[in-house]
Structure formats: structure tokens, C-alpha cells
Amino acid sequence: MSHAFDPTILREYDIRGVIGETLGPDDARAIGRSFGTLLRRAGGSKVAVGYDGRTSSPMLEHALVEGLTGSGCDVVRIGMSATPMLYYAEASTEEVDGGIQITGSHNPPDYNGFKMVFQGRPFFGEDIQALGKIAAAGDWVDGVGEVETREIMDEYVERLLAGLDGIDADRLSGLRVGWDAGNGAAGPALEALAKRLPGEHVLLYTDVDGSFPNHHPDPTVEANLADLKALVAEKNLDFGVAFDGDGDRIGAIDGEGRVIWGDQLLMIYAEDLLATRKGATIIADVKASRALFDHVAAHGGTPLMWKTGHSLIKSKMKEVSSPLAGEMSGHVFFADEYYGFDDALYAGVRLIAAAARLGRSVTELRSAMPGMINTPEMRFQVDESRKFAAIAEVEARLADSPADVDGTDGVRVTTDDGWWLLRASNTQDVLVARAESDSEEGLARLMAQIDEQLALSGLKRGESVGH
């Protein structure tokens, strides 16, 4: 027995494909056999398994559990859940050695996939390729594992509420917040959390529906925040929080309906944390604003720019003992009083806590941020065989440039006008571009530099493509 995966589904950070085309129950079963084999060989034996609200998730979960138990691993099923609930089950349960969440995250309804944790660390890159090799060779360990079901909602919500420890409840009694679960898997946990939070909380779309009937669950796309903006305006709420399909990415708006982007949220979290942890290293990905890195330094922190990708960021946090990290995509990682994984519900609680401790409303904190002029994340198609080569060519041409060139992840070039970025996506055949300046004229000059470098490599910015 062996199994060959469609090569498109074994991605850098996770496994993801289209149900009925590139991904099905046979793949899930083989993933279970291969992951279980790796875990058994590393000395582990118990795996937590959860799944999101997509219509295909229960089918994949059933097959995955079959594969895991067939490799001799015991399985703890936590049922339909947000991805951070699976991370929590893995991190907080001593006898659990690994975790797999079945989720399509913010992809369209016909997608699904798997996010994995292995003995307390992210499972990505070469780990995922190893699953493919083990399956192709049929190099599986055999065994008969046992299955148990565990209800973790109550203890998870209790753990979220600990993010408000030490804050006088009277300071939060007048709080009024809007929340949008986007019909994603975080809905039930949000309902349970909101009942116990101080203040008034108005919830949207907490019913789990894998067809996402109200809007697509990606809070980094401003159009998906329209209903939350309307709610905050209509009810005159203090601010609003939105989640992606599996609850590991946060989006937010202030009381005036302005989006608080991922790097701006990190500015708030960092200012709060650095009040008590001077010198701490705060990590952000290469797409983040210069204003964030300046803000961290101004408040006594050590800013560190790192590669995009939740698995890469988590690994770097452990390496440098960082208590806080974040990405433009809305992944926020708290190792300060938490476990270091990306949990949008916990990030929502910590936003409430930060505003309370800093003594300013979320709207005031957003208003105090410098008015940088930047592009959205521009993504355009490039042949898979060219994307990394093109970035290498740009880096080589700029080697003797007077500009400050950072090659951490792609090419980020800082000039007197601001900065621009070109990087290859690890998960799609696209190049990603972004630029930021403090003037429209400066931004135009930066964009011209991007276009010039692309032209020198025989490329041009086409129509932007989605995630």
C-alpha cells in the first residue's frame, strides 16, 4: 500500500486543496498514516484532531482519524472548533504529542486542508514534504490506536479570559464592542466568550456555515468588513473585531470605522507589552510598516523584521525568545502570558486589555498613528519557475545600490522616499509587491522602481490576483 498526493496540495505552511479535485478522504487517510508514522518514530503516540465548519471537514476528519489510529497513534477528538482551540488542546495537554486541524482557513468553500503541530513546534516546509515521501513509499508504521472525545470549549474560554487578569472590572464595564465571526469556526467560541466578557458585545454571523453566506471570511480584505463597519456605526460601538474562517487571524476597525491593519494592531499590543517588558524583541513580517518598527524602538523594544509565514514566525519567536509577533495578514502571536500560537480570539481579548491598561480608547490609539501612505498587498501571477529567480535577479542588481536593501524575505528596499518590497509567495505562483511613503509623490517614485526592476527581469505588474 502507498499513496501519491497531488503535488499542488503539499504547500510550505500547510496542506490545502480543492475537494473532489486535488483533495479527498484517501488523502486525509494517508496524511494520518504518514503523520502518525513520523510521530511514532519520534517517540510520540497521541494526536489531538479538530475541524472547521466547512461541509467537507467531517468527512476528512473521519478519514484522518482512521489513518492516525492505523499507525498506532491514539487520537483526542475535539470536534468542530477554531484552529486556536486545536493549538490550545495540543499545548495545554501534557500527554498530547501533536495536533492536526482540518481547515480551509479563508479559502473559498470548495477548499479544505490541514494545519499541523508536531511535539510543540510548527510542522511545515520539509516536514510536509516528508509526509509525501513516506506516503509514496508506503513506509508506514502499523498499529491500532484508540480514540477519545474531549470537550475543551469551557476551559479554552476560561483561558482566553485570563488575558484580562489584573484589570479593574469597573474600567471595562462601559465597553461596547462589535464582533464578526463571518460564519466561520470561531462562532461558537465567540458566543461563549462574549457572555462572560465585561461590557456590551454585539455579535454578527456566529452560526457556522461552510458556504459563508454573508461575506467571505478574510478580515484583511476591507470589503469583508462592511457589515462590521455598519454595525459599529449604527450602534455607536467603541470598536469592532473580525475573524477569518478558522479563527487564527484577526481584523479590526476603530469606532470611526477605520481599519486597523495587522501592523497597526501590533503597534498597540507592543506599546502595552513594552510598558512592563523593556527590551523585548517584537517580530513583524517584511510587509509591515516602518511606523511599526519605529514605534517598537521608541517604546524601548527591539524590533525584528522576519519572513512572512505563520510557521516561520513561530519558529523565530522560539529562537529569540520573543513574547510578541505579528503579520500583516492578521496572524498575531502572544508568548506573553500565552502559548505563542496565533489565536484571533485571544488577540481580541488582548486588544480590550491593551486599551484599558494604556488608558486610551482603541479609536484614540488608532488616531495617534502616523499617516503613512501605502499600497495594499499587490499579488500578480508569475510562472512558478520564474518567481524565485526573478527575486534573485533583483537582489543581484541592487547589490551595489546606495539604497538600504534587506534580503530577509525577498527584497525590501529603503530609500529617502520610504520603502518598497518584492517577494515570491511560498504558496502560490505569484510575486507580492508593497510600497509605503509619507507622500503620494514618494509613493509614485517607489512604484516606478518596482516596475523598473520587474521590467529588467522581463516581467510587469499585471492585474492583482487574490489569495
Instruction: Say if residues 265 and 365 touch (Cβ distance below 8 Å).
Output: no
The grid coordinates of residue 117 equal 503541530
Q: Provide the Cα torsion 283, 287, 288, 291; round to 10°.
A: 130
From 45, 105, 322, 329, the catalytic residue: 105
Question: CB within 8 A of 385, min separation 6: which ones?
Answer: none
CB distance 38 to 65 below 8 Å: no
Catalytic annotation present for 322: no
Q: Which residues pair with 413 in a beta bridge?
A: 405, 420
- Are 244 and 231 contacting, i.e. CB atoms less than 8 angstroms apart? no
- Sequence letter at residue 161: L
Closest C-alpha among 103, 104, 43, 39 to residue 68? 39
Buried b (16+ CB within 10 A) or exposed e, 279-288: ebbbbbbbbb
Annotate 407-419 with b (16+ C-beta within 10 A) or e (fewer). eebbbbbbbebbb
Q: Where are the beta strands (DSSP E) in 56-211?
A: 74-80, 98-102, 111-118, 121-122, 147-149, 176-180, 200-204
Q: If you compute the radius of gyration of the chain from its CA atoms, what whole number of angstroms results?
A: 22
| Contacts for 1 with CB less than 8 Å, ≥ 6 apart | 138, 140
- State the Cα–Cα distance between residues 190 and 186, nearest whole angstrom: 6
Q: What are the residue numbers of the active site?
A: 105
